[in-house]
Structure 1
Amino acid sequence: MANLFTIFDPSTNILSFSFNWMSTMILFLIIPMYIWMIPSRLMMMFNLINYTIHKEFKTLMMSMYHNGSTFIFISLFSFILINNFMGLFPYIFTATSHLSMTLSLALPMWLTFNFYGWYKNTEHMFIHLVPQGTPSFLMSFMVLIESISNFIRPGTLAVRLMANMIAGHLLITLLSNMNLNVPTLMIPLISLVMFMLLTLESAVSIIQAYVFTILSTLYSSEVI
């Protein structure tokens, strides 16, 4: 089991230099410059994705939307998506499978939203602690429940992304290790299952990046 989890070990180094965390930026190093300067098909696809996400975030932000305010969430979505996908390639460190990475994305945003909300809209933040229609004798209990649910938000964001990235990678690693100990006739079946699992992980990479960003947008819209 110790060897199984070494694929998530950030302490692996080459010549005493830890290069694992460079995977967070490796895609930007290998993308040719012409993609950014000439409207290629790949760039047009990225622009279409960004425009679709921009419209989604604009709808969710409602009254707090200002020109350019969706850019931070689009950048966050792209950053998480790239890191999720890069982790599917062999010998590339999956940065988003670590709590130190996911929590460093979720916690600063949550703190920023709450500091801004309590400073600018204190009354509005107090109203959020008591859902509309709550009976008087349950108000104190609901304040406690809402406060706890608010405090665990960055943790749930971080753990959800980390757990989904780890789970799929562990299944792929387990199946790949089985190829060494099974009869030859079983290897094509296991390879097919691994291919299907890799396809599922590609979808999970997109979904988890989208879920993380959508929830961050919803949390931001509650402070206004």
Structure 2
Amino acid sequence: MMTNLFSIFEPSSSLFNLSTNWMSTFIGILFIPYLYWASPSRWSLLWSKVISTLHAEFKALLLPSHMGSSILFVSLFSIIVFNNFLGLAPYVFTSSSHMVMTLSLSLPLWVTLMLFGWIQHSKHMFAHLVPQGTPFALMPFMVIIETISNVIRPGTLAVRLAANMIAGHLLLTLLGSTGPSLSMSILSILISAQILLLILESAVAVIQSYVFAVLSTLYTGEIN
């Protein structure tokens, strides 16, 4: 019996004092060799089409000097969407609902962009702190506001992804826990609602992965 509604997100399973639930993040590696020896299927062709479309879209958002970075953001999208979908399976730990993972994706990327930008394009980075046309009296305030908005970027990326994944899973768990106490007529309505919520969560899994990757691409495009 759950003592806490949030206990479904705790990596409680352990083996030799190691949290084995986190191993679900790396299950996708087992499927990589399959792509090299098996004949192409409809799913693999569909995924290749999705990757090609994302690659072209990310290239359009990046500057010509950063064009090769698009493969990084396509890989980032693939990792997040895989973990989001994996978390929808029963009894599978949802690693993308934890700030540990989401911050591990956003923070190193943001730190790398900041270091590269301030070292290679210092004047351009300073110019970003004061938008064009800002009155002289408001410049100190704009510098503070722009600095704060820049610093919180990795946190907003991480919180957005984790919060959206937690919200849907909590709703599914909360509704599902009421099933044993319901009558058969109401239970059929609950199952239908759970199926609709599961479809919604599948859409959220894709959308949040796309938003995370696109925002990371836009942040990279600002480093001129």
TM over 0.5: yes
CA contact (8 A) 1:102 1:161 kept: yes
Instruction: Please list every run of 5 or more consecutive structure 1 residues that lacks an aligned counterpart in the other structure.
Output: none
Secondary structure at the counterpart of residue 92 of structure 1: coil
Q: For 1:1-80, what aligned pairs fall within 5 Å after superposition?
A: 2-14=3-15, 16-29=17-30, 31=31, 33-37=33-37, 38-66=39-67, 68-80=68-80
Q: Tell me which amino acid in the other structure corresponds to 1:146.
A: E
Q: 2-side partners of 1:123 and 1:64: how far apart? A: 17
In structure 2, what is the Cα distance between the partners aligned to 1:50 and 1:184? 44
- How far off is 1:213 after superposition? 0.5
Shift of 1:13: 1.9
* Alignment partners' CA distance in 2, 1:36 and 1:210: 26
The two structures, once aligned, show a CA RMSD in angstroms of: 1.5
Report % sequence identity: 53
Q: Does 1:93 align with 2:93?
A: yes
Alpha-carbon distance between aligned partners in 1 of 2:12 and 2:187, rounded to the nearest angstrom:
33
Cα distance in structure 1, aligned partners of 2:193 and 2:84: 20
Measured in 2, the distance between the counterparts of 1:104 and 1:173 equals: 26
What is the total number of aligned residue pairs between the two structures? 222
Which residue of 2 is the match for residue 205 of structure 1? 205
1:32 offset after TM fit, Å? 7.6
The residue number in structure 2 matching 1:217 is 217
SS in 2 for 1:65: helix
- 4+ runs of 1 displaced by more than 6 Å? none
Report SS of the residue matched to 1:100. Answer: helix
Contact 1:60 1:217 in 2 (8 A): yes
CA distance in 2, matches of 1:108, 1:148: 18
Report the equivalent of 2:169. Answer: 169
Q: By how many angstroms is 1:69 displaced? A: 2.1
Given the two structures, how large is their TM-score scaled by the length of structure 2? 0.94
Q: 1:46 to 1:26 in 2, by over 3 A?
A: same
In the alignment, structure 2 segments of 5+ residues that lack a partner are none
Partner Cα separation in structure 2 for residue 32 and residue 118 of structure 1: 37
TM-score, normalised with respect to structure 1: 0.94
3-state SS in 2 of match to 1:215: helix
* Offset from partner CA, 1:33-71 (integer Å, 9 cap, x none): 4433333322211110010000110010033333x3211
**Partner deviation per Cα, 1:65-87 (whole Å, 9 max, x = no partner):** 33x32111111000000000000
Superimposed CA distance per residue, residues 149-197 of structure 1 (whole angstroms, 9 cap, x where no aligned partner): 0000000000000000000000000111110112221000000000000
| Distance in 1 between residues matched to 2:146 and 2:34, nearest whole Å | 50
Contact persistence 1:85–1:202 (CA under 8 A): yes
| 2:189 corresponding residue in structure 1 | 189
